[in-house]
Amino acid sequence: MTDQLVTLAKEDSIGTLTLNRPEKLNAMSPQLLGEFDDALGEAGRDAEIKVLVIRGAGRAFSSGYDLTRSSAGETADQDRERLQANLERWQRLRDLPKPVIAMVHGYCLAGATQLCICADITFVAEDATIGFPSIPAGAGLIGQMWAWHVGPHRAKWLSFLPGSQITGKESEAMGWATRAFPAGKLEEETFGYARRIAKVPADLLRIKKLSINRVMDVQGFRTAIMFGAEWDAIAHETHGVRELRQMIEERGLRGAIQWFQEK
């Protein structure tokens, strides 16, 4: 048993980065995200790792950002800086000079979907649950990233309704996921694909990745994504979100979700 919230293992040319907070469905706390940064940097520097697989321990890939963090006393600009730091983290993941595969099972919600969007390949279990936050605690941070994969109409359709969820199979049909597999085959298919592309010279994989990312950047991906920090910081100052945050402080996250659903 390890106390690490993120682990990095290596076998042959494949690195496996595991979100390791299973008792909290791998909710992304500040500590977990800090360890993620360290592991990502280590994987990027390790010349023996040609392909990186990201997975979650336990029953889920990740339930998203840990909303139990208190924001009391935080200014709007400090909020924006924190949000920007998260987006810069996902950009660093996208810029990693080697292929990254997200292997999704169980739940993949809210901020965890941003991680997958910035991976190069996302393989999902057909019965996985992919979705948005259960309560409208922000705006402009997640939905605008989904729009690049599923289109603006579907991004709005999902983003407007708190708690929107789709299955892994539906996420493949919409274009959010690369491929969906039966849950029992997900690991086999993911690592089988990773081993096959690891036979390609590392410098060629890096150029292939960069060339495709550059197309998206010309279309505005990088700039558009970073606007999310401003939109979400503005949303956090609205009356509705302030009320929700107060409910989280008073009742906890589950209590706040129940309060919102009973409105």
Residue 102 buriedness (CB in 10 A; 0-12 / 13-18 / 19+): buried
Domain assignment present for residue 199? The answer is no
CATH at residue 160: 3.90.226.10
User: Among 31, 102, 17, 24, which residue's Cα sits nearest to residue 59?
Assistant: 24
Count of the separate structural domains present in the chain: 1
> Residues 88, 53: contact at Cβ < 8 Å?
no
* 247 falls within a domain: yes
- The percent of residues in the chain predicted with pLDDT above 70, rounded, is 98
pLDDT at 261: 87
Could you tell me if residue 209 is inside a domain?
Answer: no
**Is the confidence at residue 72, as pLDDT, over 80?**
no
Asked whether residue 104 carries a pLDDT value surpassing 50, the answer given is yes
Burial of 261 (0-12, 13-18, 19+ CB in 10 A): exposed
Beta strands in the chain (DSSP E): 6-11, 14-19, 51-56, 100-104, 107-109, 121-125, 129-131, 165-167, 179-181
Question: Looking at the domain assignment, is residue 14 inside a domain?
Answer: yes
The mean pLDDT value for 72-78 works out to 85
The reply to whether 256 falls in a domain is yes
Phi, psi for 154 (deg, rounded to 5): -70, -35
pLDDT greater than 90 at residue 69: no
- Torsions phi, psi of 162, nearest 5? -55, 140
Q: Is 103 helix (H, G, I), strand (E, B) or coil?
A: strand
> What does 134-197 look like in DSSP terms, one character per residue?
SS---SSSSHHHHHHHH-HHHHHHHHSSTT-EEEHHHHHHHTSSSEEE-GGGHHHHHHHHHHHH
**The token pair that represents 216 in the structure block:** 């998206």
218-229, pLDDT tens digit by residue? Answer: 999 999 999 999
Q: Does residue 96 sit in helix, strand or coil? A: coil
pTM for the model: 0.94
Residue 92 CB coordination number (10 Å) = 15
- What is the sign, positive or negative, of the torsion defined by CA atoms of 103, 106, 110, 111? negative
Q: Which residues contact 148 (CB under 8 A, 6 or more apart)?
A: 117, 216, 221
**Residue 198 falls inside a structural domain:** no
> Does 65 score more than 90 pLDDT?
yes
214 within domain boundaries = no
The answer as to whether 136 is a domain residue is yes
Average pLDDT over residues 164-177: 98
Domain assignment of residue 129, given as a range:
6-184+222-261
In this predicted structure, what is the pLDDT of residue 2? 59
**Spatial distance between the Cα atoms of 263 and 241, rounded to a whole number of angstroms:** 14
The arithmetic mean of pLDDT across residues 13-33, rounded, is 97
pLDDT at position 178, please?
98
Summarised one tens digit per residue, pLDDT across range 194-225 is 999 999 999 999 999 999 999 999 999 999 99
